[in-house]
C-alpha cells in the first residue's frame, strides 16, 4: 500500500511486543525500521518514541553507550515533536534507567528530575507514569533515600489500583519488592517479587518477569 507512516507505527508496536516477549533480535530489527520510516517522512513524535523503545531494548541488552546515544538522539528529535512533553518524559525515564545500569547515579538523578519536571508540565499520563514512577523508586533507593522512594512507590500503587491493568499491578509490586529489600524485609520482598513475576508472565512480559526472578535469586543468595 506504500503507507510508510502506518508501517512505521506497526513496526514500533511490533518491536515493543517482541521485546516484552523476549524476542530481542526481532524487536531491534522492527524498531530500527520504524525509526528509519518515521525519519523519512519527518514524523518527529513517532521517531522519538521508537528511539525511546530502542534505547530501552539496548539498555536491557547491556549496550549502555549505544542506548544512551540512541536516547540522546531521541531527545533532540522530540524537541520538534507535536507530543514533545510526552516523548521527552518517556525518554528521560529511559535515560534514568540506563544511567542506573551504568552505575552513574548522578546522571540518573538528573534524567529523573528532567522527566518529573516534564511530566508536571503535561499532566497525568498513564503511559508516562508507568515508565517514570518505577525508575523514580529505583533512583531514590540507590541514593538511600528510603522516604522519597516509598512516596513514589505509594503513588505507583495508587495509580495501579486506579488503572487496574495486570502490568500496572505488577510494576507496583515490583517497586514494593525493591523497597522491602532495601528495608531488609526479605520475606516481604520475595513475596512481592514472586507476585510481580507471575503477573508479568501472565501479561507475556518476559523481560520484566525475568528481572523479578533475577532479583529473587540475588536476595536468596545474599540471605
Q: What is the mean pLDDT of the chain?
A: 94
Query: What is the per-residue pLDDT across 63-121, written as a single tens digit (0 to 9) for each?
Result: 999 999 999 999 999 999 998 999 999 999 999 999 999 999 999 999 999 999 998 87
State residue 156's pLDDT score: 93
Question: Count of CB atoms within 10 A of residue 189's CB?
Answer: 21
Q: How many domains does the chain have?
A: 2
* Terminal Cα distance for the chain, rounded: 58
Take residue 54 and report the three cell numbers written for it.
530502542
Residue 118 lies inside a defined structural domain of this protein: no
User: Does 128 lie in the same domain as 186?
Assistant: yes
Stronger pLDDT, 94 or 124, i.e. the higher one: 94
Domain assignment of residue 194, given as a range: 124-223
| Residue 119 · residue 128 · CB < 8 Å | yes
Query: What is the per-residue pLDDT across 159-206, written as a single tens digit (0 to 9) for each?
Result: 888 887 889 999 999 999 999 999 999 999 999 999 999 999 999 999
Report the C-alpha gap between 111 and 98 in whole angstroms: 10
Residue 87 lies inside a defined structural domain of this protein: yes
Nearest in space to 16 (alpha carbons), one of 205, 218, 220? 205
Which CATH number characterizes residue 29's domain?
1.25.40.10
User: Does 67 lie in the same domain as 138?
Assistant: no
State residue 159's pLDDT score: 87
- The label of the residue with cell 495486570 reads 166
Residue 116 lies inside a defined structural domain of this protein: no
The three-class DSSP label of residue 145 is coil
Give this prediction's pTM: 0.94
Amino acid at each position: 500500500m506504500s503507507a510508510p507512516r502506518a508501517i512505521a507505527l506497526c513496526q514500533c508496536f511490533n518491536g515493543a511486543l517482541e521485546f516484552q516477549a523476549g524476542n530481542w533480535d526481532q524487536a531491534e530489527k522492527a524498531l530500527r525500521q520504524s525509526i528509519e520510516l518515521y525519519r523519512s517522512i519527518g514524523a518527529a513524535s513517532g521517531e522519538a518514541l521508537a528511539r525511546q523503545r530502542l534505547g530501552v531494548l539496548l539498555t536491557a541488552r547491556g549496550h549502555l553507550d549505544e542506548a544512551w546515544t540512541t536516547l540522546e538522539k531521541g531527545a533532540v528529535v522530540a524537541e520538534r515533536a507535536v507530543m514533545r512533553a510526552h516523548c521527552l518524559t518517556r525518554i528521560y525515564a529511559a535515560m534514568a534507567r540506563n544511567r542506573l545500569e551504568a552505575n552513574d547515579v548522578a546522571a540518573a538523578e538528573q534524567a529523573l528530575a528532567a522527566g518529573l519536571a516534564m511530566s508536571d508540565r503535561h499532566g497525568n499520563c498513564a503511559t508516562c507514569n508507568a515508565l517514570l514512577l518505577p525508575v523514580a523508586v529505583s533512583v531514590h533507593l540507590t541514593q538511600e533515600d528510603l522516604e522519597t522512594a516509598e512516596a513514589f512507590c505509594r503513588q505507583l500503587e495508587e495509580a495501579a489500583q486506579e488503572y487496574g491493568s495486570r502490568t500496572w499491578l505488577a510494576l507496583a509490586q515490583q517497586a514494593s519488592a525493591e523497597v522491602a529489600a532495601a528495608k531488609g524485609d526479605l520475606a516481604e520482598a520475595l513475596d512481592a517479587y514472586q507476585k510481580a513475576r507471575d503477573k508479568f508472565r501472565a501479561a507475556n512480559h518476559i523481560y520484566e518477569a525475568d528481572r523479578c526472578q533475577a532479583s529473587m535469586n540475588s536476595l536468596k543468595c545474599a540471605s
